[in-house]
Structure 1
Amino acid sequence: MSFKVVLVLLMILMTKGETCHPNDHRALIDFKNGIHYDSSFRLEKWKGQDCCKWEGILCDNITLRVTQLNLPGFLTMYDAPAQTTMDGLLSTSIALLTSLEVLDLGGLLELKGQIPPLIGNLTKLRKLFLSTNRFSGPVPDSIGKLYKLEEMYLNENSFSGSLPFSLGSLRSLRKLDLSSNKFSGSIPDSVVNLVNLEILSLQENFLTGHIPENIGNLHVLQNLDISNNFLTGRIPFSINKFNSISSIFLGNNQLEGEIPFPSSPGQMPSLVFVNLNDNNLTGTLPSFFGHLNSLQRLSLANNQLEGSLPSNLGDLKALAMLYLSGNRLSGKLPRSIGLLTQLEILNISDNMIEGPLPLEMSSLTNLQLLHLSFNHLNLSSIPTWLADLPSLTNLHLAGCGIQDEIPGYLENGARRFQEFDLSANHLIGSIPGWLGRFHYLYHLNLSVNSLSSKIPNTITNLGDLGVLDLHSNMLSGPVNLLFQMQSRFENGGLTFLDLSDNNFSNDIEQTDLGTQQRIEYLNLSHNFLNGKLPTTIGKLQSLQTLDLSYNQFTSILPESLANASILERLKLQKNQFTGRIPDGFLKLTKLKELNLSDNLLSGNIPFGEPLLNFPKSSYSGNKGLCGKPLATCTPHSQ
């Protein structure tokens, strides 16, 4: 009898009885029984014995063994994308699916339990997706028996314990993502055996120890992210071994040591992204950075690098983003920086770079974001060519030693600027009225200067303005117009307003604060504002910080203030507020900081949280005030 005849007879026999292997059927029924809620109702359709016809199940046409269990949380329902949920425990019987090649339970949000210890029985498994759930416990050593595994995503769970040494046996693995868990201990040295690995993501865990010494053996690695851990020591690998690497991210660790990059041209020809920010890297920026001809993004921010920028920086012809902020770099910017014609973002703030800026920077026609704040530039004046850069939208020159008035030629950028920061300089004179032409401006910071006069009325034209910081100047006049600004967008408007430490002195009682309902931070402290607080202050539903301290406000505290229900910081000290503290203040359950001291308040402090949680100093200096945490009220004081 031929093989084909036997196969046909076998198929006929199976179609007359069960078409699902008993072990597979048991495993799937046990899985279903472990789930007590399925918002997609897929498991509800799992009925009968023919599991190969169940939704999310795929079987081999010949053996009729289950090869795929596909129940991802994100799927298409009614021709639209939908997030679905399964709540329950992952059955250990899943290990009975010994012909399984794909197991996808990712993104179900509420799926719990552990990876079964016998998962090593699934020797045919190629893809394991369990991300974005609530799994916990360790990854079992038997995971190392999955020799055919190509992709494993366990990210965004609560897995814990050490990474098993057996991971190094997964020689077919191309993508490994264990990020956003609670793994601890060291990265096993066996990881260097994963010679086919393209993506390695271990960020946001509690890993300690050193990076494996021979991690440079991963020749085809394209993306390495081990940020947000507690790793120590130097970066041990010779990066020039990564012939195809396209991204390295080692941020937010405690790594130490110098940066070992290739020392001759032609090495690392495919390197596109280098991100080593937020570490403790030391040393200088070596000149062989210029050999990385394909580099598009270089981020070394927030380390301890020192010395000058290499003179051959301009050889990085493909460079689009350069982040060097928060280091100890010194010297002048090299003239070759003008050769970076593809550069879009340049951030070297918080260093010790010296001026003047090279005129060659005027050739950076694609530059969009320029952050030079807090260096030793001592610019005295802003170079005229800065305002003519055709793509520039964000200009940050805080703490650069700029003097005199805000120059008029900056008006040339009126149609482009979205962020404009000249804070912590030596500017004098008035805020120019032409700023009202910056129709796309979202962030304006002129704080910590010596600007005087009034705020120009044209500022009400800034319909996109979300952040306005003018604190620590000598500005005067009314502040009402800032609350008259109308956003051109339905969800627009100021979110941050700081006018503190100025000479504003008007009465704001009639001001309609309700026009700025998106404001989260409002600081008018250390001025000469007087009169009553407007009752419309209760309309600020998004307000988290309110500081009106050190002014001359009188009257009672408005009951409507209690409507600002998410308020976290309330500072009203050093005014002349009178009357009782409104009982409605007990509704401010988010309050973390409160200061009502040195006013004329009286009566009993409303009893209850959060008012009970603050110290006596929050209420001191109010002679008529009593009750916890101050002295007990007498009948006369009540």
Structure 2
Amino acid sequence: MKFNNETHFTFSSKSTMLALAVFLLLLTETTTGWSKPEALRTTHDRGGCIAREREALLSIKAGITADPDGLLSLWRGQDCCRWEGVSCSNMTGHVIKLDLHKRDDQSSLEGEISSSLKDLQHLQHLDLGGNEDLTGPGGRLPEFLGSLGDLRYLNLSSLDFSGTVPHQLGNLTRLLYLDLRSYYGLSKELHQEDLLWLPQLSLLKHLDMSYVNLSTVIGWVDTVNKLAALEVLRLSSCSLNSTGHFVSRSNLTMLEILDISGNSIELQFKAISWVLDATSLIYLSLEYSGIYGMFPAHLGNFTSLEVLQLSGNYLKGMLPDTLTSLCRLRIFELAGNDVQGDVTVLIDRLPKCSWCQLQVLRLGHNSITGSLSDWISNVTSLTTLDLRFNKLTGPLTTGIGMLSNLIYLNLGYNQMDGLITQGHFAKLTELRHLHLSGNSFTMELNSDWIPPFTLQSLGLTSSYLGPRFPQWLKSQKNISFLYMSGTGIVDTMPGWFWTVFIGAEILDLSSNNIGGKLPATLGQMGADVLDLSSNRFTGSVQQLPQYTTELDLSSNFLSGPLPLSLWPIYIESLFLSNNYFTGTIPASLCQIQSLRYLDIGSNMITGHLPRCSEHVTSSSAMVTPNTTSPDSDSSSTMPLSMSIETLRIDNNSLSGEFPLLIQNCPELTFVDLGQNKFSGSIPEWIGQKLPQLKYLRLRSNMFSGYIPAQLKELRHLQYLDLAHNNFSGSIPRSLLNMDGMTKTTELADRDIPSGTSSGIIAVDDGDVPGGFAYYYIDSIFVVTKGQGREYIGQSIYMVSLDLSLNHLTGDIPKSIGPASGLVSMNLSLNHLTGKIPESIGSMRSLESLDLSSNQLSGEIPSRLSDLTLLSYLNLSYNKLSGRIPSGPQLDTLNPDDPTSMYIGNPGLCGPRLRKTCPGNHAAESHPKESKGGSETMPLCFGLSVGLVFGLWVVFCSLLFKKTWRVSYFLFFDEACDKMYVFVVVNWARMRRKVMATD
């Protein structure tokens, strides 16, 4: 090449010019992606793509056993570079990209990742994400992926792999993007014992291993710290341990996104120094990681931060005042901590410079106090405001109505009150979720008011909406979740309600005074949960919603036959108690395999329970209902297993022997047959057929026979009520030796007011729309401590035994003592004999003991004084004798009438009966006498010594002091004279009065 004065340079040959042209073309292709013309392609790629790589792709296709959307059906022809999801290099023709990830509108591919993939040695981009069933029979993450040395991008997210992450991935030294995240709920688990291979990926910018089990990895912080190029790090829900969080110097200066949420790190915020050093962060999520302590002031250094998520930790106190520099903050989540202080102060510590762009503010489940003032109207960009479960008071400011971008508002379960008018919703045109439940608001809205919003969920539980049914709900046709329990409505249900809310998923209008009849179209309702309990609905129920899973119609005035002819297909919970239903329980009950909770107590149902058996023929596997009578037996039938866990049919007029239906319910934990007319004996199969049973109540029936010893096989039984029956024989020796009877149960909710019935209740869990989920709650009427009361929730599972008012004989088993968890025991009104066993003193949890009206004899065990929790005792009307034991607890029982506990036992004596025990008169004359001697003896001794000492002082003074002695005797003589005159004068007056009267 020679230079020229005119053109600056010339080419010495045509070959040089051609070489330069090719160089420029290659440079253009590399920088702009320009495709070379067909004339410039080499001879090997004019057929479409490299043959060996095409064969590899076809082998990969062969490994796909299911392609529901036909994604690979177009993999035809010679040019594989044109196949769906395949890209080739325009320069070399090699396959450099394979993208088969599952899109939102697609189905997952099934099969396995073929080993032919390693033949694509020039592959730079591999994306199989979302295909959870593409793991093959072994389910292992393939090791051969480590041989694809040109890979820059690898996405295997949401594939249901098992086993360990292969260390061969460390060979992918050019990798920039690695996504191995799994998801909670997948059947398998990917785990890793160490991350020694990870630092080899020195160019890595994006790393996501969320839901990969890293619990055994030691020093993971130090390992990650070696990846200086990292911009995105996601290790959510990896079971990360708390070791090795300190590094001398953080290299993660490029980090923009950090998510280590869902781990149990359990460290103070300030201890995570490597997090605080990453000041370039835009996104920081430490939710549910066990972080505790005060908020660090270093948070103010994250000036680029847009998303800060700290929910579900143990942070306490008030926010630091250093956050004012976070001017880019868009999302701030701090729910589920121990944040304290006034809400106005808290808001003032958020950066005011971000108010115009703050979109999400979640502060629920804390201890924030104060009231919402007009500051709320300044945060105009808010789309989500969640302050539920705090201690906010006062009215709701009308400034809330200025938030025109607000989509989600939840102020539920605070202590707020006051009026809510139309002004509170003036500009809330975008509002979709409104939840004010658990406060004491009063809604004052015009009857013709049309809201500016269209809601999807609404929670107004315990707010006052009545007395008329709110007409404005007629316009809310998109509501899927409606919670209006206890809102003071006293009205007839309008007909439009059933039409407007026909497609709603959850409808809760319980605990109001809503009347009227249920519509004939009730079966067309699409509600998954329908709760109309504790209202005034009348009439019969012709059919039930066919797709509901939770239905509660209890505590109304419904009548007619049980609406069980057309059972809902997916019903799990059905509550029809406290109504006026009549008739019998139909055999269609046996067909509902999904039913878990059934409560039809307190009605007027008669007859027998169906046996629930099915015909089985050799020619057909079809299940048909048994049409035989309930008590018939047939060799052609077999038990039909059911899923019932709770069965309540108490307080009806059901009869017959112990229901055989129960033996078809192996998952039963709660059985209440009380207050019916059942007879016969308890079957011996009960111990084998009901292995999960915890609660058995047969009270107030006509059962007879012996109490079967097979009850001991009910290992989990902890509540047994056989009272008011005709059982005879002795108490089985092993009756209280089950594991359930030795369990100590916390009765935290025992003070819940009576009148609450079993059913489904709304509980906040923060995961479903509106922040509610529905759970089942049990309640029962229990006789304990001499009175009946309603127990609800977990407290019904207190450990209790009630065998009262039967015909039991024999003695109380001495082995009764191991029931250390027993809270209440009632054996009264039987014919028990013998002594009260000393082992009762080992029942340290016992609060109520009733052995009255038996024929027990002997002395009361002194070990009863060891029962420090005992608050009720009744030993009356037996043949007990001897001294009544005393003790700190026994002496405080029934202070108003202490004798009532022991009345009817002529042989008993002691201070509490005010009856002196023979041979110990002195002791009985002093009620406060203790075992160590009289408590009054020191007092008497002190008074005697004082009296003697005082007399000697006076005597010695008179003896040695003459002037005192003279004065004393003069004073004594004068006093005697005055007394003599007084007596003589009054005697004379008395005689004169007597004589005058005569």
The TM-score range, normalised by the shorter chain, is 0.7 to 0.9
Amino acid at match of 1:350: F
Q: 2:594 matched to which residue of 1? A: 566
Say which SS state the counterpart of residue 208 (structure 1) adopts: coil
From 594, 603, 621, the equivalent of 2:647 is 594
Amino acid at match of 2:538: N
* Cα contact 2:651–2:676 (8 A) shared by 1: yes
Amino acid at match of 1:148: R
- Asked if 1:106 is matched to 2:129, the reply is yes
* Cα contact 2:101–2:129 (8 A) shared by 1: yes
* Cα contact 1:19–1:52 (8 A) shared by 2: no
Residues 480, 612 of structure 1: alpha-carbon distance in 2 compared, 3 angstrom cutoff:
same
Q: Structure 2 CA distance, aligned partners of 1:468 and 1:306?
A: 35
* Cα contact 2:597–2:647 (8 A) shared by 1: yes
Q: Structure 2 CA distance, aligned partners of 1:27 and 1:140?
A: 23
From 305, 308, 317, the equivalent of 1:283 is 317
Normalising to structure 2: TM-score of the pair?
0.53
From 519, 532, 552, the equivalent of 1:523 is 552
Paired residues for 1:322-361 under 5 Å: 322-333=361-372, 335-361=374-400
* Cα contact 1:416–1:440 (8 A) shared by 2: no
Residues 621, 224 of structure 1: alpha-carbon distance in 2 compared, 3 angstrom cutoff:
farther
From 547, 555, 561, the equivalent of 2:575 is 547
Paired residues for 1:226-245 under 5 Å: 226-235=260-269, 236-237=272-273, 242=278, 244-245=280-281
Structure number with greater CO (CA < 8 Å, separation at least 6) is: 1
* Cα contact 1:454–1:478 (8 A) shared by 2: yes
How far does the alpha carbon of each residue in 1:344-376 deviate from its partner, in whole angstroms, 9 at most, with x for none? 221101011232444543432322322111223
Q: 2:228 matched to which residue of 1? A: 195
Paired residues for 1:95-244 under 5 Å: 99-108=122-131, 109-112=133-136, 113-115=139-141, 120-156=146-182, 158-186=189-217, 187-209=220-242, 212-213=245-246, 217-235=251-269, 236-237=272-273, 242=278, 244=280
From 281, 289, 295, the equivalent of 1:253 is 289
Paired residues for 1:67-82 under 5 Å: 68=96, 70=98, 72=100, 74=102, 82=106
Q: Structure 1 CA distance, aligned partners of 2:328 and 2:510?
A: 44
Residues 324, 631 of structure 1: alpha-carbon distance in 2 compared, 3 angstrom cutoff:
closer
Q: 1:389 matched to which residue of 2? A: 427
Q: 1:493 matched to which residue of 2? A: 526
Amino acid at match of 1:532: P
From 540, 549, 556, the equivalent of 2:584 is 556
Say which SS state the counterpart of residue 169 (structure 2) adopts: helix
Q: 1:301 matched to which residue of 2? A: 335
Residues 610, 182 of structure 1: alpha-carbon distance in 2 compared, 3 angstrom cutoff:
farther
Q: Structure 1 CA distance, aligned partners of 2:83 and 2:420?
A: 69
Please report how far the alpha carbon of residue 148 of structure 1 lies from its aligned counterpart in structure 2 after TM superposition.
1.2
Residues 28, 629 of structure 1: alpha-carbon distance in 2 compared, 3 angstrom cutoff:
same
Please report how far the alpha carbon of residue 263 of structure 1 lies from its aligned counterpart in structure 2 after TM superposition.
6.4
Please report how far the alpha carbon of residue 137 of structure 1 lies from its aligned counterpart in structure 2 after TM superposition.
1.9
Please report how far the alpha carbon of residue 452 of structure 1 lies from its aligned counterpart in structure 2 after TM superposition.
3.2
Amino acid at match of 1:166: W
Residues 229, 623 of structure 1: alpha-carbon distance in 2 compared, 3 angstrom cutoff:
farther
Task: Using the TM superposition, name which of 160-169 and 344-353 deviates more.
Answer: 160-169
Paired residues for 1:2-81 under 5 Å: 35=63, 37=65, 39=67, 68=96, 70=98, 72=100, 74=102
Q: 1:623 matched to which residue of 2? A: 677
Please report how far the alpha carbon of residue 319 of structure 1 lies from its aligned counterpart in structure 2 after TM superposition.
0.9
Say which SS state the counterpart of residue 400 (structure 2) adopts: helix
Amino acid at match of 1:102: H
Residues 597, 211 of structure 1: alpha-carbon distance in 2 compared, 3 angstrom cutoff:
farther
From 668, 675, 680, the equivalent of 1:614 is 668
Q: 1:7 matched to which residue of 2? A: none
How far does the alpha carbon of each residue in 1:29-77 deviate from its partner, in whole angstroms, 9 at most, with x for none? 99789x48354696998999x999999776768878x65472625489x
Q: Structure 2 CA distance, aligned partners of 1:448 and 1:62?
A: 73
Give the paired residue count: 604
- Asked if 1:292 is matched to 2:332, the reply is no
* Cα contact 1:262–1:291 (8 A) shared by 2: no
Q: Structure 1 CA distance, aligned partners of 2:261 and 2:318?
A: 22
Residues 477, 607 of structure 1: alpha-carbon distance in 2 compared, 3 angstrom cutoff:
closer
* Cα contact 1:430–1:452 (8 A) shared by 2: yes
Q: Structure 2 CA distance, aligned partners of 1:20 and 1:300?
A: 57
Q: 1:374 matched to which residue of 2? A: 413
Please report how far the alpha carbon of residue 291 of structure 1 lies from its aligned counterpart in structure 2 after TM superposition.
2.9
Please report how far the alpha carbon of residue 280 of structure 1 lies from its aligned counterpart in structure 2 after TM superposition.
2.4
Q: Structure 2 CA distance, aligned partners of 1:270 and 1:596?
A: 63
Say which SS state the counterpart of residue 420 (structure 2) adopts: coil
Please report how far the alpha carbon of residue 310 of structure 1 lies from its aligned counterpart in structure 2 after TM superposition.
3.0
- Asked if 1:310 is matched to 2:347, the reply is yes
Amino acid at match of 1:363: M
Say which SS state the counterpart of residue 551 (structure 2) adopts: strand
Q: Structure 2 CA distance, aligned partners of 1:431 and 1:175?
A: 55
How far does the alpha carbon of each residue in 1:555-611 deviate from its partner, in whole angstroms, 9 at most, with x for none? 112344455543332222233322333325976744443333443334574568752
* Cα contact 2:279–2:303 (8 A) shared by 1: yes
Q: Structure 2 CA distance, aligned partners of 1:428 and 1:461?
A: 21
Amino acid at match of 1:593: T
* Cα contact 2:650–2:673 (8 A) shared by 1: yes
Q: 1:412 matched to which residue of 2? A: 449
Q: Structure 2 CA distance, aligned partners of 1:32 and 1:386?
A: 60
Task: Using the TM superposition, name which of 542-551 and 54-63 deviates more.
Answer: 54-63
Q: 2:980 matched to which residue of 1? A: none
Q: Structure 2 CA distance, aligned partners of 1:630 and 1:161?
A: 45
Residues 618, 166 of structure 1: alpha-carbon distance in 2 compared, 3 angstrom cutoff:
same
Say which SS state the counterpart of residue 144 (structure 1) adopts: helix
Please report how far the alpha carbon of residue 177 of structure 1 lies from its aligned counterpart in structure 2 after TM superposition.
2.0
Q: 1:8 matched to which residue of 2? A: none
Q: Which of 1 and 2 has greater Rg?
A: 2
Please report how far the alpha carbon of residue 340 of structure 1 lies from its aligned counterpart in structure 2 after TM superposition.
0.6
Q: Structure 2 CA distance, aligned partners of 1:505 and 1:54?
A: 64
Say which SS state the counterpart of residue 375 (structure 2) adopts: helix
Amino acid at match of 1:522: L
Structure 1 regions of 5+ residues with no counterpart?
A: 5-10
Q: Structure 1 CA distance, aligned partners of 2:204 and 2:447?
A: 54
Say which SS state the counterpart of residue 133 (structure 1) adopts: coil
Q: 2:497 matched to which residue of 1? A: 459
Q: Percent identity?
A: 27
Say which SS state the counterpart of residue 418 (structure 2) adopts: coil
Q: 2:483 matched to which residue of 1? A: 445
Q: Structure 1 CA distance, aligned partners of 2:189 and 2:297?
A: 35
* Cα contact 1:541–1:565 (8 A) shared by 2: no
- Asked if 1:468 is matched to 2:497, the reply is no
Normalising to structure 1: TM-score of the pair?
0.79
Residues 334, 543 of structure 1: alpha-carbon distance in 2 compared, 3 angstrom cutoff:
same
* Cα contact 1:526–1:551 (8 A) shared by 2: yes
Q: Structure 2 CA distance, aligned partners of 1:363 and 1:41?
A: 49
